[in-house]
Amino acid sequence: MVYRQAKWDEPLIYELGAPGRIGFLVPEVEEEIKKEVGEIKVPDKVKRSEPPALPEISEFEVVRHFVNLSQMAYGVDNGPVPLGSCTMKYNPKIAFEIANDLRVTYLHPLQDERTVQGLLEALYHLQKWLANIVGMDACTLNPAAGAHGELTGVLVIRKYHELKGQLDKKTEIIIPDSAHGTNPASSSMGGFRTITIRSDADGNVDMEALKAAVSEKTAGLMLTNPSTLGLFEERILEIAEILHEVDALLYYDGANLNGIMGYARPGDMGFDIAHINIHKTFGSPHGGGGPGAGPICIKERDVLPEKGVKLSDLLPGFIVKYDEKTGKYYLKYPGPYSIGMVKAFFGNVGPLLWGFTYILGLGSQGLKEVTEQCVINTNYFTKLLKGTKGYDLPYGPERFRKHEVVFSAEPMAHEVGVTAEDVAKGLLDAGFYAPTIYFPLIVHEALMVEFTDTETKENIERYVARMKEIAEIAYKDPKEPKKWPVNTAKGRIDTVRASHPKFVTPTWRVHVLREKGLLRALK
Ligand SMILES: *Cc1c(COP(=O)(O)O)cnc(C)c1O
């Protein structure tokens, strides 16, 4: 099959249109509402001297612009995106319809609770279901993404030690070297020193390294299980015991629950806090960097028994409660022991409703089937690719993988100079998305593959066939892969230049727009 991506010479939206063209009409405010609200006076100091330089374009220009751009992009609605750890599964359209229903999108966060009972009921159930899925007792939907959930969890750990008057000595958080980069970042942002411990040859936490790292200074441990290598941590119960002995809390990075959902629960493994990525496990789209949702759940435990303070009292955000007497849902505001708010109002309601629909639609049996299919897909892929010249499978090659698997292109890179990046470009060229590459850092030339539950057997086979073909080409003519991709809208990007801060910061984009005279009003 030949793949060709569209190549439009598409201008910036600021370069399109002409003065006076209109794409959307804001409805007139009804007289009745005007009377009720009265005249709104905008304070002089917030008024602009000139209107903002917004593009003036007609509806069809907007539509064509974005359709053209979408034809130069690739997403889960085009084909497989087996980005390990990031989990790009198909986003069911029924959930889109629910989350985008006008009865939802037209709600205002300051509306009276009595007028949003339906929404609160959905969020209330979601809190319960999520807590149940991870085997915990309470949940806040406040955080906006996985990394945000981690930071929230770390701040809860901090508050826990602070309330117990032991924050002075609890200064360290232990994190295995296979962890997602956001873990050490969250620990540092939360004010802790990160202690990294190595993994053993089978991909488990190295117990000697763990024991050497744990001390009275240990405030917590952040662990992903199954790890980013897709391997289940076999000694998790022992690990939990070691940590709890020094009054450290166990944090579960539950960005990805596809490998265990319905079969194992972090709460039963000894974890105290967990975040969940709705946009990874529960089918809401990642959507160009956001919005996502990263609720956190906690296992109840005493913090200050003499005052009756429990770990759930530390959670941030409005938490939805149900009053049995009145039969109404209401919001519990952060109390005196809460870390406060980490996001305005209820968090990102759209993705949360998407997750609600996903769980409601599948039911508990369906969620188990998601896990089964996901694990079968990973191991089917592993079995088909294993042994192919050019690729290697480090860390317990005989072990079963859960939601993902990390191969290495090191043999190919070493023997003929064709790298994981070249393999990725070769996949793009054939109309697939690339796996996650060069992560986790403990695997050289890493190719981290996750098909999720939604990919078909045929697509997995086609993917493997292409990976084998790439290896064959690499050994026959190692110069060829360096030219890839040629069939995509853009050729190979200079990744070094592209990662230079000058080229990636929003300030730079503003700078360019201003140079083009497109942001005159932006003073
Ligand atoms: C994606 C991911 C995160 C971070 O989640 P975001 O929503 O991208 O902030 C954390 N840990 C793991 C293992 C992940 O895969």
148, 277, 281, 348, best to mutate for ligand 1 pocket (most atoms within 8 Å of CB): 277
pLDDT tens-digit readout, 398-454: 999 999 999 999 999 999 999 999 999 999 999 999 999 999 999 999 999 999 999
Q: Which atom of ligand 1 is nearest to the CA of 85?
A: 15
150, 182, 342, best to mutate for ligand 1 pocket (most atoms within 8 Å of CB): 182
Distance from residue 255's CA to the centre of ligand 1 (Å): 5
Q: Tokens standing for 112?
A: 């009276």
Distance from residue 352's CA to the centre of ligand 1 (Å): 16
Residue with the larger pLDDT of the pair 382 and 28: 382
Round the average pLDDT of the chain to a whole number and report it: 93
Q: Which atom of ligand 1 is nearest to the CA of 280?
A: 1
For residue 458, what is the enclosing H or E element? Answer: helix 457-476
Position 33 scores a pLDDT of 81
Query: Would strands 249-254 and 218-223 be described as parallel, antiparallel, or unpaired?
Result: parallel
- C-alpha span between 50 and 198 (Å, rounded): 58
Position 523 scores a pLDDT of 36
Q: Which atom of ligand 1 is nearest to the CA of 149?
A: 9
- List own/partner pairs for 95-102 with CB under 8 A and 24 or more apart: 95/283, 95/284, 95/353, 95/354, 95/355, 95/357, 95/358, 95/361, 96/354, 98/353, 98/354, 98/356, 98/357, 99/284, 99/350, 99/351, 99/353, 99/354, 99/357, 100/350
Q: Which protein residues are within 6 Å of ligand 1, measured from CB?
A: 85-86, 145-147, 180, 182, 224, 228, 253, 255-256, 277, 292, 294
Domain range annotation of the chain? 98-356, 496-523
CA dihedral 175, 179, 181, 184 (to 10 degrees): -10
Distances (CA, A) of 482 to 210, 308, 447, 522: 42, 64, 17, 42
Q: Which of 85, 100, 15, 113 is nearest to 55 (CA)?
A: 15
Position 352 scores a pLDDT of 96
Distance from residue 110's CA to the centre of ligand 1 (Å): 30
- pLDDT over 90 at 512, yes or no: no
Phi, psi of 218 (to 5 degrees): -70, 120
- C-alpha span between 339 and 411 (Å, rounded): 49
Rounded CA Rg of the chain: 25
Position 2 scores a pLDDT of 84
The residue whose CA is least distant from atom 15 of ligand 1 is: 85
Position 444 scores a pLDDT of 96
Cross-strand bridge partners of residue 289? none
pTM: 0.91
Distance from residue 220's CA to the centre of ligand 1 (Å): 19
189, 253, 281, 403, best to mutate for ligand 1 pocket (most atoms within 8 Å of CB): 253
Q: Which of 147-151, 290-294, 306-310 has the lowest mean pLDDT?
A: 290-294
Distance from residue 224's CA to the centre of ligand 1 (Å): 10
Distance from residue 143's CA to the centre of ligand 1 (Å): 13
- C-alpha span between 275 and 298 (Å, rounded): 9
Q: Is the peptide bond before 291 cis (omega within 30 degrees of 0)?
A: yes
148, 178, 186, 280, best to mutate for ligand 1 pocket (most atoms within 8 Å of CB): 280
Mean pLDDT for the stretch of residues 65-82: 94
pLDDT tens-digit readout, 211-247: 999 999 999 999 999 999 999 999 999 999 999 999 9
Distance from residue 65's CA to the centre of ligand 1 (Å): 31
- pLDDT over 50 at 522, yes or no: no
pLDDT band at residue 521, thresholds of 50, 70 and 90?
Answer: very low
Phi, psi of 506 (to 5 degrees): -55, -30
First vs last C-alpha separation in the chain: 51
Distance from residue 104's CA to the centre of ligand 1 (Å): 27
Distance from residue 183's CA to the centre of ligand 1 (Å): 9
Q: Which atom of ligand 1 is nearest to the CA of 228?
A: 13
What is the amino acid identity at position 20?
A: G
Q: Which atom of ligand 1 is nearest to the CA of 224?
A: 13
Position 280 scores a pLDDT of 95
Answer yes or no: CATH 1.10.3660.10 is held by domain 98-356: no
The residue whose CA is least distant from atom 6 of ligand 1 is: 146
Distance from residue 45's CA to the centre of ligand 1 (Å): 41
- C-alpha span between 424 and 441 (Å, rounded): 17
pLDDT tens-digit readout, 269-289: 999 999 999 999 999 998 655
Q: Which of 46-50, 197-201, 371-375 has the lowest mean pLDDT?
A: 46-50
Distance from residue 146's CA to the centre of ligand 1 (Å): 5
The residue whose CA is least distant from atom 2 of ligand 1 is: 255
Position 520 scores a pLDDT of 47
Q: Which atom of ligand 1 is nearest to the CA of 148?
A: 9
Distance from residue 56's CA to the centre of ligand 1 (Å): 38
- Does residue 53 contact residue 520 with C-beta atoms inside 8 Å? yes
